[in-house]
Structure 1
């Protein structure tokens, strides 16, 4: 079920609801580049668990209007606008990769509404004290994040033509990433059904422009607008130890920073293994959502 929701400042957000429309609500925040069409448990799984999954295009992606200069913290008010429009009071939140910091923002800034939060293969704040932010990260990601921090216009000049190419041929992104994938990740993305879903996800995310992607990267390399130490709801951090796109040291830092956080580190897994972990993560997220809201 698809909805258009107006944000507090008048922007339009495109929302997708999956599973049981009367089920327990979980927001799923996509990676980058990505869209509301990204990886999610199958509809049958969601119905069996009496769950509705709410995904939406972050500003600038897919069918959502751009929000220039947005911070990671700005996601909270967009999620509130969607929840209010759908008549949902309390909900859980999960984020994968570039969506993980945004999920943590919801946990920190919406304590009365967020019951549990899961952050899969995520990143720590750019200014994380005591963390070598680039340790274990692939050279390509180091270059893009470093550029975003000092020259956002140069980042845009790089990502706009790259996004144009991916929009025309979305399998190009996975082909570009292949040399940097671990054997474990190559095995996961070799699945034909998963590849088709990822290609549709990338095409939709970049359908109108590259600016969702550009704004995401810049936001992650800027002050986030909240401190993960302020989170009080239960938090699960999931990471593959072999991840070279979002190194595992980021989740280890967050586990030390967030009070009571649980960290699950999979020794043999890498970045794309988070897709397979989603159903298990969903079970954990639903524990404090006994019934449907709205």
Structure 2
């Protein structure tokens, strides 16, 4: 895609479960990637790193690591809610009503539509992807040598900030930006800052 667009050099960004795929792509295209952004990064967390995680997220993480097929039931329930237009609109209205402002409400709508589209053809790929994300990643972080900026909310209960702190320690050239008042939606709160940092790095 980058070649088709004529991009000799570019930045990469990954949010939540996109973290390992983004880092591995950066590792494999190190001669072309100037900077990486990880937003609310999730992955294989230790017991201590899971402190503060919601019970639902803890259960999905345990299934992903130990019995991935069991996540099929939870993902199927999500699919029933989101793929059916009436159910999705009802759930979306509730979620948007809880959003703190118009920007978060708009981001919530985009997220609902994206997840519904991802689940439209079934649950198998999502279950497999969760297993890939939550088990140990099959590449060394030491090989991701370009600058990596991590943005994480201190109130994130899906992917607690302790995991991002470990990533920042283990990556050779990482900078961690913690937002004290954000949760898993830190990408919405810090969007302008994220774009500014990425633009400043791309040559």
TM-score band, normalised by the shorter chain? Answer: 0.7 to 0.9
CA distance in 1: counterparts of 2:200 and 2:30, whole angstroms: 17
Distance in 2 of aligned mates of 1:189 and 1:98: 25
> Would you say 1:259 and 2:177 are equivalent positions?
no
What is the match of residue 35 of structure 1? none
List runs of 5+ in structure 1 lacking aligned partners.
1-81, 179-184
2:12 to 75, 93, 104: 93
Count of paired positions: 199
- Aligned counterpart, 1:156: 72
Distance 1:196 1:123, change over 3 A: closer
Aligned with residue 143 of structure 1, among 52, 59, 70 = 59
Structure with a larger share of its residues in strand: 1
8 Å Cα contact 1:149-1:221 kept in structure 2: yes
Please give the per-residue CA displacement for 1:259-291, whole angstroms capped at 9, x wherever unaligned: 13111111111111322312221111122334x
Partner of 2:24: 105
Q: CA deviation at 1:157?
A: 3.2
Q: CA RMSD in A?
A: 2.5
Equivalent of residue 268 in structure 1, options 165, 168, 181 = 181
- Is contact 1:171–1:199 with CA below 8 Å preserved after alignment? no
Task: Select the structure that is richer in helix.
Answer: 2
* Aligned counterparts of 1:173 and 1:105: Cα–Cα separation in 2: 34
Q: Where do 5+ consecutive residues of structure 2 fail to align?
A: none
Contact 1:138/1:244, CA 8 A, preserved across alignment: yes
1:123 partnered with 2:42: yes
Q: 1:108 to 1:244 in 2, by over 3 A?
A: same
Show CA shifts across 1:134-167 (max 9, x none): 2221110110110121212222233124313221
Aligned partners of 1:123, 1:99: CA distance in 2, in Å?
8
